[in-house]
Amino acid sequence: MQPRTHVTLEDVARAADVSLATASRALNGTRVTPHLRDRVLAAAEQLAYTPNAHARALAGASHRTVGVICHDVSDPYFAAVAGGVMRVAGDNDLLVMLASTFRDPEREIAYVSMLRAERAPAILLIGSGFEDPRWERALEAELKPYLDGGGRVAVVSRHRSLRVDSVLPENRAGAAAMARALLELGHRRFAVLTGPPMLTTVADRLGGFRDELKKAGVTLAVTDIVEGPFTRDGGYGAMSELLARGLEATCVFALTDVMAIGACAALRDHGLSVPNDVSVAGFDDIPAVRDLTPPLTTVALPLQQLGEKAMELALTENTGRRRRIHRMGGEVVIRASTAKLT
Residues that bind DNA in the complex, under the rule CB under 7 A? 3, 6, 8-10, 18-22, 24-25, 27-28, 30-33, 35-36, 49, 51-52, 55-56, 58-61
Q: Which of residues 122-181 bind a copy of itself (CB under 8 A)?
A: 122, 141-142, 144-146, 148-152
Give CA–CA dist 266/192, Å, rounded.
15
From the list a copy of itself, DNA, none, partner contacted by residue 1 (C-beta under 5 to 8 A by kind): a copy of itself
Short-list 118, 166, 104, 105, CA closest to 146: 118
CB 202 within 8 A of CB 195: yes
| C-alpha to C-alpha distance for 239 and 121, rounded to whole angstroms | 43
Among 83, 196, 207, 229, binds a copy of itself (CB under 8 A): 83
Which option in DNA, a copy of itself, none does residue 318 bind, with CB closer than 5 to 8 A by kind?
none
User: CB 119 → DNA: shortest distance, Å?
Assistant: 9
Q: Would you count residue 116 as binding a copy of itself (CB under 8 A)?
A: yes
Residue whose CB is less far from DNA, 9 or 162: 9
By the rule CB under 8 A, 221 interacts with a copy of itself: no
Tell me, what amino acid is at 118? Answer: E
- The b/e string for 218-243 (b: 16+ C-beta within 10 A; e otherwise) is bebeeebbbbbbbbbebbbbbbbebb
Closest to DNA by CB, 8 vs 318, is: 8
Interstrand relation of 331-333 and 298-300 (parallel, antiparallel or unpaired): antiparallel
Burial of 52 (0-12, 13-18, 19+ CB in 10 A): middle
Which of 208/282 has CB closer to a copy of itself?
A: 282
Give whichever of 29 and 246 is closer to DNA, judged by the CB atom: 29
> Minimal CA–CA distance to 127: which of 214, 62, 196, 227?
196
8 A C-beta contact, residue 289 and residue 214: no
Binding flag, residue 238, a copy of itself (CB under 8 A): no
| Distance, CA of 10 to CA of 320 (rounded, Å) | 46
42 touches a copy of itself (CB under 8 A): no
Euclidean distance between CA atoms 54 and 57, whole angstroms: 5
Of 16 and 143, which has the nearer Cβ to a copy of itself?
Answer: 143
Among 8, 27, 41, 65, binds a copy of itself (CB under 8 A): 65
Instruction: Specify the amino acid at residue 123.
Output: I
Residue 73 in contact with a copy of itself, rule: CB under 8 A: yes
- Give the residue among 8, 22, 21 at the shortest CA–CA distance from 55: 8
Nearer to DNA, 34 or 217 (CB): 34
Name which of 312, 258, 246 is nearest 87 in CA terms.
Answer: 312
In the complex, minimum distance from the CB of residue 337 to a copy of itself, in angstroms, rounded to a whole number: 12
β-bridge partners, 192: 225, 253
Side chain identity at residue 265, one-letter code:
A
Judged by CB under 8 A, the stretch of 28-36, 181-189, 289-297, 323-331 that binds a copy of itself is 289-297
Whether the CB-CB separation of 282 and 259 falls below 8 Å is answered with: yes
Which one of residues 19, 28, 46, 50 is an interface residue with a copy of itself (CB under 8 A)?
50
Amino acid residing at 55: A
Q: Which is nearer to DNA, 35 or 322 (CB)?
A: 35
Q: Is 6 in the site for a copy of itself (CB under 8 A)?
A: yes
140 binds, among DNA, a copy of itself, none (CB under 5 to 8 A by kind): none
Residues that bind a copy of itself (CB under 8 A): 1-7, 48, 50-58, 62-63, 65, 67, 73-74, 76, 79-80, 82-83, 86, 95-100, 102, 107, 110-111, 113-114, 116-122, 141-142, 144-146, 148-152, 232, 261-262, 264-265, 287-288, 290-293
